[in-house]
């Protein structure tokens, strides 16, 4: 499975502005880039891996990791030359999750759809070139992929990412695609064509449809737009044998589109999510 990388996000943040931001603390941003490398799929990382993921020089990574260890945000993995998130980072995650009543209301709605079709249903938000899962529910199918809350899904290689791109303005989407091309994070010509077609049909369908033949997985996804360009995305996917294209386009996709509409007022009431 292709995974998105947080590479050079501090650099990207600086370059987004035409003028230097005197309030921007580059060292802090680089430290946060280090922490962003860790995920549900990458729980333990070595400094060489961190240097590769962030694009930072190895000595810089060593210094940042030393500081993060001293402050409790990283800790050494016993018996391995690797690091993992420390208590301070875990406490921050707990604080972020605390009080997210909207997610508690949304979870049974996602689970109901997951049980109906024996699929996986997820809610996410964009972080860099990934969509990060905030919620994930699944039915009883043994063939579903092992993803979870905190998993990062590549923006340009997934239904949930395509749905996000589909609800962007043409100008914003063009910028994101150009950045992805420069970083070598777009797919081959066939995948780019499929993405373009899915995005073009989003206004008509209200969802995107995405196939992964190598994994025999079919997925639909829809965006949830809130004021001030805030966006969530929701996806529904599973084995192609259970979710053939006709079912996805005629039934599951419209059902997911309806669910996205139902989630919007819930998320509006819980904007702190």
Which CATH architecture fits 100-270? 2-Layer Sandwich (3.30)
Class at the top of the CATH hierarchy for domain 26-91: mainly alpha
pLDDT by residue (tens digit) across 79-89? 899 999 888 88
For the chain, give percent helix, strand, coil, nearest 5.
Answer: 45, 20, 35
Task: Name which of 206, 250, 204 is nearest 224 in CA terms.
Answer: 206
Confirm if 247 and 90 have CB atoms less than 8 A apart: no
Domain limits, the chain: 26-91, 100-270
pLDDT at 18 over 90: no
- How far is Cα 239 from Cα 60, in angstroms, rounded to an integer? 43
- Give first-to-last CA distance, the chain, whole Å: 28
Task: Name which of 75, 74, 235, 109 is nearest 160 in CA terms.
Answer: 235
The per-residue pLDDT for 98 is 53
Query: Checking phi first, is residue 150 left (phi over 0); if not, alpha (psi -120 to 50) or beta?
Result: left
pTM higher than the cut 0.95: no
Task: Name which of 179, 156, 176 is nearest 229 in CA terms.
Answer: 176
Quote the tokens at residue 212: 């992964």
- How far is Cα 124 from Cα 131, in angstroms, rounded to an integer? 6
- How far is Cα 155 from Cα 109, in angstroms, rounded to an integer? 24
Position 108 confidence tier, pLDDT thresholds 50, 70, 90: very high
pLDDT at 202 over 50: yes
Q: Which helix (H) or strand (E) holds 116?
A: helix 101-117
Tell me if 26-91 shares its fold with 100-270: no
pLDDT by residue (tens digit) across 129-166? 889 888 999 888 665 667 788 888 888 999 999 999 99
- How far is Cα 186 from Cα 4, in angstroms, rounded to an integer? 11
């Amino acid at each position: 499975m292709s995974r998105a990388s947080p590479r050079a996000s501090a650099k990207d943040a600086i370059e987004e502005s035409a003028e230097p931001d005197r309030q921007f603390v580059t060292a802090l941003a680089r430290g946060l880039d280090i922490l962003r490398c860790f995920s549900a799929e990458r729980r333990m990382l070595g400094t060489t891996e961190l240097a590769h993921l962030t694009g930072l020089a190895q000595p810089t990574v060593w210094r940042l990791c030393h500081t993060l260890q001293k402050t409790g945000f990283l800790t050494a993995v016993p018996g391995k030359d690797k690091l993992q998130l420390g208590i301070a980072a875990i406490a921050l995650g707990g604080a972020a999750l605390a009080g997210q009543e909207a997610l508690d209301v949304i979870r049974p709605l996602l689970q109901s759809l997951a049980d109906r079709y024996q699929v996986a249903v997820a809610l996410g938000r964009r972080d860099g070139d990934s969509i990060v899962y905030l919620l994930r529910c699944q039915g009883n199918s043994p063939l579903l992929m092992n993803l979870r809350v905190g998993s990062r899904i590549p923006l340009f290689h997934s239904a949930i990412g395509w749905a996000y791109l589909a609800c962007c303005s043409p100008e914003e989407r063009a910028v994101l695609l150009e950045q992805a091309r420069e970083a070598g994070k777009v797919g081959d010509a066939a995948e780019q064509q499929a993405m373009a077609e899915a995005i073009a049909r989003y206004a008509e369908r209200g969802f995107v449809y995405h196939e992964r033949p190598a994994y025999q997985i079919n997925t639909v996804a829809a965006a949830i737009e809130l004021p001030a360009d805030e966006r969530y995305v929701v996806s529904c996917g599973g084995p192609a044998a259970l979710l053939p294209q006709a079912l996805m386009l005629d039934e599951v996709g419209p059902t997911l589109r309806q669910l996205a509409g139902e989630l919007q007022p819930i998320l509006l009431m819980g904007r702190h999510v």
